Amino acid sequence: MDNPVTVFLYLVIGIVALIVVITLLRSVRQVPQQRNDVVERLGKYHRTLTPGLNILVPFIDAVRTKVDLREQVVSFPPQPVITSDNLVVSIDTVLYFKVVDPVKATYEIANFLQAIEQLTVTT
């Protein structure tokens, strides 16, 4: 029968090994093609992860958003429009857009999809 001290030692070694494995898993990030991840270090913008294998500082760095860089299609509900001869016409809007700068899409506007819709309606 094992000594209680050795059982406790095995338990401590197991817990330490588990913490090491979790730390390693949190530090390695794989970003797929056509996506960028915006990383914050202690709540402040630090860098943008590009596609491929990336290393983060565990428990200090955090991925805030994952921005899709592919072209996207959004259909908006019909909007009433007044023409130059004072007729009310309802138009359907289908919009194609592509995010070029993930940092600006994350930090410089609260909801870029809503902003695109409002810009399209006013145009």
Taking only the tens place, the pLDDT of each residue in 45-77 is 999 999 999 999 988 999 999 999 999 998 888
∠ Cα 102 103 105 (to 5°) = 60
Beta bridge partners of 47: 39
Provide the 8-state DSSP code for 50: P
86 shares a domain with 31: no
Domain hosting 28: range is: 4-67
The predicted pLDDT at position 78 comes to: 85
Q: Are 47 and 78 found together in one domain?
A: no
Residues 59 and 112 in one domain: no
Is there a single domain that holds both residue 62 and residue 10? yes
The answer to whether residues 107 and 80 belong to one domain is: yes
pLDDT at residue number 75:
86
Indicate the number of domains in the chain. 2
